[in-house]
Amino acid sequence: MNKDIEISNSSKNDVSLIHIKGDITAITGEAIEKAYQKVSADEAKKILLCFNAESYINSGGIAILIGIAAESKEKGQTIRITGLSGHFQKIFHMVGLTKYTEIFPTEESALEGF
């Protein structure tokens, strides 16, 4: 795993959580892809991506996330996102990620009714 990113997996009830801290780029995004593939292999249907509010995401990282979101739709999974700064929430809306995912202000609000 790249030293610029920290990924950890956990679960709450039937939701798989992927905690992401650090800079998300095409290179470090591979670690997120691997974490996603792991929870998919475990047949997760509900996935919450929990970003650290200080995370930076460039276009390569956004491309990785779009790929994950598109794949999740094909697999019948639901992905929710939390922890994004206001700036990245706007970017996710602009690039269309919110067509595949829903953004929540907190982990607790994302888990409600999931």
pLDDT on residue 2 = 42
Note whether 24 and 61 are within 8 A (CB). Answer: yes
CATH code of residue 73: 3.30.750.24
Q: Is residue 85 part of a domain?
A: yes
Residue 77: inside a domain:
yes
pLDDT the model gives residue 107: 95
In the chain, the number of structural domains is 1
Q: What is the mean pLDDT of each successive set of 10 residues along the chain, which is 114 residues long?
A: 78 96 92 95 95 89 94 95 93 91 95 93
Question: Closest Cα to residue 6, out of 40, 33, 31, 34?
Answer: 31
Task: Tell whether 114 is covered by a domain.
Answer: no
Dihedrals φ, ψ of 19, to 5°? -90, 130
Range of the domain at 15: 5-109
Any bridge partners for residue 102, and if so which? 80
For every residue of the chain, DSSP letters joined together read --TTEEEEEEEETTEEEEEEEE-B-TTTHHHHHHHHHHHHHTT-SEEEEEE-TT--B-HHHHHHHHHHHHHHHHTT-EEEEE---HHHHHHHHHHTGGGTEEEESSHHHHHTT-
